[in-house]
Structure 1
């Protein structure tokens, strides 16, 4: 893994992640189907949104200290198709306990959002889906296999066409394209528009980062996004109303 070109804070996140995870028992999970949830939301006329519970991040100001279960329930009430819960503690204020509590409280699929670098870290907490970031995994094939052996669905995050190719070769059937460049932490929605055509039609395609407005939602959907992963735009303010604003298929205002 080449880390020289990464923004310093990303390097710090990876250094911290490299040491986390221990001798926990191997997990075996029975996941709620994310593709089925996406199909149901689409049939119901909702934009499939993975709403993210993110107390803080290196790219936002302040920390939101609401009970994660209350946030989760508000997101689901606003029409979220699935939830993403940060479990990275140092830079994002997340925890495995928060994910566990959220998953017990809701019926929608729950994604574990973290910087997972080693197989042992898959056993930290049960979730319906885990995030694996292609850029940071030289053994992506092995990690996808290890996650699936535990029952997890896998969202493989990419940023370039070559990373999409690696994800597909690893057997990924859910692929995210992150509009945020982790070298400088800059967001460009053209990233998704450029990379999305390289994703096979039979793969569930998720647009990530920078989706803050109805216009951005419609832009990502027009470019081929089956679902959207949204954090800050939902967490900043009224969580239920923000979720509803982005999940409503048509803007009636």
Structure 2
């Protein structure tokens, strides 16, 4: 449902870079760790089900983390993260496929590949447990989602509006992320998740793992998203800004 009009200049630059990136030569075959199971296990264990993000930098943050990403990832897991997200976008986020590969080898939780994947060949860059597809930027979401699943990936389809969530579910998505950040203006509103979650029909909601993304900086924010129906929370900057284990513990502590 490609709708790239009126995105912020920083996002347009990311998309242009993504258009120019090639993919792998051969389709991957992945045996994934279950993200929904990991989130449910964290909840059963009395922790907030958190996907902690290894993000060296981004267009919306200041500075850059140069720590060993594997050590950061291990600290996040030690702090209670149920799963990890690893940036592989190089030009704007300082990510790399090799980073994800090293992190996934070092931890035993599901790892999401965070990138701007626009076409099928770009799935074949690195093995991950979960691939991210952003509904707004994919030409044929159903086709690309099926291609990812054929390789064994679980798929997190990111949306921002009720219409995008509906399109994601219609395409067959069972893990849906609602981004509180508007990629048109880059502003963040936690009310986005509340409004979008409330628009999902009960029959559809039963079959979807729902993730709240962006803008979650405190335990109060985490509680607010959970109360609105989030099965998991994806948090990057609030964890990377400071001691990652302490920040992870703060957000996963019920």
Please classify the TM superposition score into its range, dividing by the shorter chain length. Answer: over 0.9
CA root-mean-square deviation: 0.8
Which position in structure 1 is the counterpart of 2:206? Answer: 201
Q: Deviations over 1:206-239 (max 9, x none)?
A: 0000000111001000000000000000000000
Q: Give the structure-2-normalised TM-score.
A: 0.97
1:61-104 Cα shifts (integer Å, max 9, x gaps): 01101111000000000000000000000000000000000000
| 2-structure distance, mates of 1:155, 1:3 | 19
1:164–1:198 Cα contact (<8 Å) kept:
no
* Structure 2, unaligned runs of 5 or more: none
Q: More displaced, 81-90 or 3-12?
A: 3-12
Q: Deviations over 1:115-158 (max 9, x none)?
A: 00010000000000010000001200001000000000000000
2:24·2:122 contact (CA, 8 Å) conserved in 1?
no
Q: Could you say which residue in structure 2 is the equivalent of 1:72?
A: 73
| 1:31-70 correspondence to structure 2 within 5 Å | 31-70=32-71
Query: Counterpart in 1 of 2:31?
Result: 30
SS in 1 for 2:93: coil
Structure 1: where are the runs of 5+ without partners? none
Q: Could you tell me whether the CA contact under 8 Å between 1:89 and 1:95 is conserved in 2?
A: yes
Normalising by structure 1, we get a TM-score of: 0.97
Deviation string 1:23-77 (CA, Å, 9 cap, x unpaired) is 4221000000111111110100000000000000000001101111000000000
User: Which segments of structure 1 move beyond 4 Å, counting only runs of 4 or more?
Assistant: none
User: Residues 142-161 of structure 1: matches in 2 within 5 Å?
Assistant: 142-161=143-162
